Amino acid sequence: MAITSSAKKALRASKHKRFYNIRHRDAVTGVTKELKKLVATGNKGEAMKLLSQVYKELDKAAKTGFIKPNAASRKKSRLSALIKKIK
């Protein structure tokens, strides 16, 4: 258990950050999984509609520091390349 006041404050801050990190993780993984399911079924129209939502969630995660900006960019690029492969 934290003893000093600064350690107690750090504990509160880490709990708060954990809450937001979990929320970003769930949002990113959920939308990404949904997009990959649409790609697997070959539904290009629906995948294109969902792509903007994926971009939004990845950008939010990068903005808040959950993932690095280049990681978000890489994920967006790979997901859009997946959609382009659909015929």
On whether residue 5 sits in a domain, the answer given is no
User: Is the pLDDT at 29 greater than 90, yes or no?
Assistant: yes
Q: How many domains would you assign to the chain?
A: 1
Say what the pLDDT of residue 18 is: 96
**Does some domain include residue 11?**
no
Query: Could you tell me the pTM of the whole model?
Result: 0.85
> 39: how many CB neighbours lie within 10 A of its CB?
18
Domain that holds residue 54: 17-85
- Residue 8, domain member (yes or no): no
Residue 59 lies in a domain: yes
CATH of the domain at 27: 1.20.58.110
pLDDT at residue 28 greater than cutoff 90: yes
Q: Among residues 28, 34, 39, which one has the least CA distance to residue 76?
A: 28
